[in-house]
Amino acid sequence: MNIVVLDGYGLNPGDLTWDSIKTLGHLTVYDRTSDQEIIRRAANADIILTNKTILTAGTLQSLPKLKYIGILSTGYNVIDIEAAKSKGIVVCNIPTYSTESVAQMTFAHLLNITNQVDHYARENRNGRWNASMDFCYWDSPIMELYGKKFGIIGMGHIGTAVARIARAFGMEVLTVTARKADTLPEGVKKVSLEELLQKCDVVSLHCPLTTESRQIINWERLTQMKSTAILINTGRGHLVNENDLAEALNQGIIAAYGADVLCVEPALPNNPLLTAKNAFLTPHIAWASTEARKRLLEICTDNIKAFLNGTPQNIVE
């Protein structure tokens, strides 16, 4: 059984081991694979593992031995699912491995914005506290989360985890979700998008990217929000209109934006959010805690074992 990893570096830059997968077949791992290299590298593959390397219908047509594609993430937009299905190729993803890590990053962004820990640490390295005439100083508003309204758009696994943490901070949680109100966690209130945007001090995006949710945050929606509101996006870059958002930040329409995702990654030099006022960006690392990546590898291994045993799991339909 030939197993080829097309882009293993993102998951495992060297601090983890592929040993569990090596026990299942002859394993070849590439850090990165260009579009032009896919067919040559995967020509004899029975199993391909990929994270962001795109497998089109044309590429799949050129890989006659391929029986299984393991996606090293939850999202599966890099695979032409219909083409794989037509060729009898099983496609499996890795659900829920990073729920707690992404929820943690959501609040890392929020607390960075509300408490400005990085800002003051940098100021103090430059001697500002030493030069202070008083025992303390601050040059930006500090927001207490207790009693504030936290809006969650999308109440799946991650949204639910975020709601739990928000409640622990003593925040009132509102949500826009397809779920029925009586199935929501205790203390979470289902509302309309308009009500959520108008009332919430924090809005956090956790919905899947669909035709309906693409650019769900645009100029019209931004102008419905409080001028003191904080927007957090650890979901998908395309949930926001980046030009509209940058302009809204620069004009003070909303107070701040914390995000782990952009529409194009890695970031383009001219992305307006890179220089927008009070925009704080991390490089798509919410999923990348050591614990989450270990969990991903374990589930990936279990997925392959289940496939080899004739009982595939986590199949993308």
Catalytic residue among 157, 214, 238, 284: 284
In terms of Cβ atoms closer than 10 Å to its own Cβ (0-12, 13-18, 19+), residue 43 is middle
Phi, psi at residue 144, to the nearest 5°? -85, 130
Spatial separation of the C-alpha atoms in residues 9 and 106, rounded to whole Å: 24
Q: Of 316, 295, 308, which is closest to residue 3 (Cα–Cα)?
A: 308
Token pair 């499996």 is at which residue?
A: 92
Give 91's strand partners: 69
Catalytic residue among 194, 265, 291, 298: 265
Is 236 part of the annotated catalytic residue set?
yes
Q: Residue 180, SS3? A: coil
Q: Which two tokens stand for residue 214?
A: 């693409």
Q: How far is CA 220 from the centre of its chain?
A: 24
Is 37 part of the annotated catalytic residue set?
no
Give 26's strand partners: 2
Spatial separation of the C-alpha atoms in residues 87 and 234, rounded to whole Å: 34
Token pair 């958002």 is at which residue?
A: 245
Is 247 part of the annotated catalytic residue set?
no
Q: Of 147, 180, 194, which is closest to residue 166 (Cα–Cα)?
A: 147
Contact 156, 206 (CB under 8 A): yes
Angle at CA 122, nearest 5°, toward 117 and 128?
A: 105
Catalytic residue among 206, 236, 293, 295: 236
Contact 75, 52 (CB under 8 A): no
Phi, psi at residue 154, to the nearest 5°? 105, 110
Q: Give the list of residues 6+ apart from residue 130 with CB closer than 8 angstroms, or none.
A: 124
Give 143's strand partners: none
Contact 286, 109 (CB under 8 A): no
**Residues known to be catalytic:** 236, 265, 284
